[in-house]
Structure 1
Amino acid sequence: MTMQPVRPEFAPDPALDRAEMESLQREIAETATFADDLSVDPLDPHTLVAGVDQGFSDGTATSAIVVTRGGNVVERVHARVDTEIPYIPGLLSFREGGAILAALDELSTDPDVFMFDGSGRIHFREAGLATHIGVMLDAPALGVAKNLLCGQPRESLDEPLPEGTRVPIEADGEVTAPDGTVIGHAVQSRQYDSGNRYINPLYVSPGHRLSAETAADIAEHCCDGYKLPEPTRLADAHAADVSRK
């Protein structure tokens, strides 16, 4: 593996009980940096962005990582690992982490930024999948989720948003961050012109070494005519393809 875990003590262990998992997440959140700390311009076309997504079939998790540079695929890898626990909201990293670490072991490139299909700071304990793995690798990471796990949008999301709109997601009583802290954004990456149908926003949050604003910039920059950013869209397709086979 190109990127060895800097904090292996944070490896997601599905054998922990729920209280132990939540305690570990709080420790991870305290270690995380939710501010920009990058050695590259994340919007530069030469930046290596790794999309990470999972597929599930017959009790097995398939983690796919697709590394892109300027919209072009540089590397595709995957790994399959048996799942040991069911899906539990807020504890996704303990179900998917083993497969992700196994897929990381297959990487030969050294990504500048990791983009996860899941949450980062938009999480009850500020330690979603992107934060958990990002802190463990000490790598810039962001989460791009399709649904809002927690937090309060600053404006109503009940009506379709115009393309390009961003609505801050603030911490509330469900989140360990102080009330009103911006923990991510609802990002309207694409929208139909017709009023008969609409596209829901993405929920983008920093995982580690990124600010909420920069995480949204990266996600929006990586969209190429689709709702999902290309790195995670391609990783999703690769995971699905491997799972089918």
Structure 2
Amino acid sequence: METLQREIADIAVFEDDFAFDPNALSSPLAAAASGDEQPTVVGVDQSFLTNADGEQDRALSAVVATRGGEVIERVHAVTGLDIPYIPGLLSFREGGPILAALEELSVDPDLILFDGSGRIHFRQAGIATHMGVVRDVPSIGVAKSLLCGRPRKDTDGLPAGSRVAIEANGRVDAPDGTLIGYAVQTRQYDSPNRHINPLYVSSGHRVGPETAANVVLELATSYKLPEPVRLADKYADEAKREFNQ
């Protein structure tokens, strides 16, 4: 599995390689000004179902397609779990359900945002990179915690809208100091006594690190998570309730 991840990282494109205008992701006016249609942005998140013994035995992958900030389609898929949770090998556990759900979409994504890592990964091939390469679709990883690498400066209490570069360290299969993503602060409290942690944003495939950070900031509304991922998270919980009735 680790060898395959290294091969995927070698194939992945960690720079901008897409046809849409990223400024038009959430703005109809920007899209009209550029003469382009607004791109279809898809958020992906996962939930898990348990059997009678209380063991997680199935994954539910929720996919929400948006255009101009509006939901245009929601689909989900449920498949069995073939391997246990192993840090760094998430895509082998959850990739099947994600691909199954993406197959249910009637629209073609221009960009996919994953709740998980992209290049910020031990072998530079987190779930956003793995799925992005398999589908050959521009993709971004949006993680809530830092899997590996190190920030170039302190990330505590960052003001909203700021970012801090994340570089490779000895835990990453990349030269030390390589830029692999950003800590992105989408929201922050006004109080000095508490703070919101940043998101860890990285290229999945065909999106550069600066663009990935810009996109996440652009798509974050009044919540910490960018809206497509937040909506996918909400839909995953909603779909899961259908199985728990």
Question: What TM-score comes out, normalization by structure 1 length?
Answer: 0.90
Matched, 1:121 2:113: no
Matched, 1:183 2:180: yes
- Any unmatched runs of 5+ in structure 1? 1-20
Matches within 5 A, 1:213-232: 213-232=210-229
The residue aligned with 1:149 is 147
The residue aligned with 1:47 is 39
Matches within 5 A, 1:128-207: 128-157=126-155, 159-207=156-204
Report Cα offsets for 1:100-144 as digits up to 9, x if no partner: 011011000011001000000000000000000001111100000
SS of the aligned residue for 2:104 comes to: coil
Q: 1-side partners of 2:68 and 2:213: how far apart?
A: 17
1:86 Cα deviation from its structure 2 partner:
1.6
Q: 2-side partners of 1:114 and 1:43: how far apart?
A: 16
1:68·1:75 contact (CA, 8 Å) conserved in 2?
Answer: yes
1:53·1:239 contact (CA, 8 Å) conserved in 2?
Answer: yes
Question: What TM-score comes out, normalization by structure 2 length?
Answer: 0.90
Q: 1-side partners of 2:66 and 2:102: how far apart?
A: 15
Q: 2-side partners of 1:74 and 1:179: how far apart?
A: 42
Over the matched positions of the two proteins, sequence identity in percent amounts to 63
The residue aligned with 1:26 is 6
1:198 Cα deviation from its structure 2 partner:
1.2
1:42·1:113 contact (CA, 8 Å) conserved in 2?
Answer: no
Q: 1-side partners of 2:145 and 2:119: how far apart?
A: 14
Q: 2-side partners of 1:155 and 1:197: how far apart?
A: 19
Report Cα offsets for 1:21-70 as digits up to 9, x if no partner: 10000000000000100111123131211001000121211001101111
Q: 1-side partners of 2:167 and 2:178: how far apart?
A: 5
The residue aligned with 2:33 is none
Matched, 1:112 2:110: yes
1:164 Cα deviation from its structure 2 partner:
1.1
Q: 2-side partners of 1:110 and 1:42: how far apart?
A: 17
Matches within 5 A, 1:85-100: 85-100=83-98
- Any unmatched runs of 5+ in structure 2? 28-37, 51-56
Bigger mean CA offset, 82-91 vs 126-135: 82-91
The residue aligned with 2:241 is 244
For 1:169, give the aligned amino acid.
Answer: I
For 2:21, give the aligned amino acid.
Answer: D
1:48·1:68 contact (CA, 8 Å) conserved in 2?
Answer: yes
Q: 2-side partners of 1:220 and 1:70: how far apart?
A: 15
